[in-house]
Amino acid sequence: MSLKDHSRSIGLRCSTCGGADFKRDPALDDGPIECATCERVFSRDELIRENGEIIDNAVDEVKTEIVADFKAELRKAFRGSKFIKIR
């Protein structure tokens, strides 16, 4: 099991127009982020907060996959044992 298998890229959306294209100055980490469609300006924290549901759904999907992979690895590791059973 590798964490590389569980990395995701989440597309954030503008809460005003639903656009997915943003402009920002790459030299500034916490600089303003502007929607390329409606030109609304967000802070980084504001954009993350307004896309919280999208982010939470992606995190839940990854959690489910990690748990399933971990159970499969445990079953594989203890396959021949008559004393340990994984359900």
**pLDDT tens-digit profile of 23-52?**
998 888 889 999 999 999 999 999 999 999
Q: In whole angstroms, what is the distance from residue 32 CA to residue 70 CA?
A: 40
| Structural domain span for residue 42 | 3-77
Is 87 contained in some domain? Answer: no
Give bridge partners of residue 33 from the DSSP assignment. 24, 42
Is 85 contained in some domain? Answer: no
Question: Over 90: is that where the pLDDT of 19 sits?
Answer: yes
Is 84 contained in some domain? Answer: no
| pTM value surpassing 0.85 | no
Total domain count, the chain = 1
* Proportion of the chain above pLDDT 90, given as a percent: 59
User: What's residue 43's pLDDT?
Assistant: 94
